[in-house]
Amino acid sequence: MTRLIFLGPPGAGKGTQSKVLADFLNIPHISTGDILRQAITEQTPLGIKAQSYMDKGELVPDQLVEDLVKERLNQPDTKNGWILDGFPRKVSQASFLEELLAETGQGGERAVNLDAPDQIVITRLLGRGRKDDSEEVIRRRLEVYREETAPLINYYSDRQKLLTVDGNQSPEEVTTALKNVIAA
């Protein structure tokens, strides 16, 4: 049973690696960013509410992502484990998740900190060309990461749930390192 949370700055490779690992472990990859982008494409009520925040590189309000995560973790395909990519992104969301997992009897989760230096993540994001990958929005996303998300490294390390992997290596090397830390 694997329940994994992916932490790390935007551009560290969370999306790529968490997908590879979810396929390998045959468990669902749950990306709040992907779900929100899909909602924007479909212009659902969630998408319409989230869009202006995402375009600016700000976090969308907790309530929106917490509702979607709660609903997603209640789907039957999560019973053999899951990988969360992009959630939690701040301490309030981590507390929400902790409570949700306790209520639903889904414990034993671990957080992987996929770390990479600023210069590397900026170069990667500029090359990616997603709508929120303009230089200004990237700068804001990195600031939000430092202020809101980076404190989760201590949050999970205090709870002895933190694993760390160096994201500044080739994708194949990162995958190998990830498989090693989760098996250890």
By the rule CB under 6 A, 167 interacts with ligand ADP: no
Comparison of 106 and 148: residue with beta carbon closer to ligand ADP = 148
Query: What secondary structure does DSSP assign to the chain, as a single string?
Result: -EEEEEE--TTSSHHHHHHHHHHHHT--EEEHHHHHHHHHHTT-HHHHHHHHHHHHTPPPPHHHHHHHHHHHHTSGGGTTEEEEES---SHHHHHHHHHHHHHTT----EEEEEE--HHHHHHHHHHH--TT-SHHHHHHHHHHIIIIITHHHHHHHHTT-EEEEE-SS-HHHHHHHHHHHHH-
Comparison of 59 and 112: residue with beta carbon closer to ligand ADP = 59
Residue choice 4, 30, 46, 89 for contact with ligand ADP (CB under 6 A): 89
Which region among 56-64, 75-83, 102-110, 167-175 touches ligand ADP (by CB under 6 A)? Answer: 56-64
Contacts to ligand ADP by CB under 6 A: 10, 14, 32-33, 36, 53-54, 57-60, 65, 86-87, 89, 93, 141
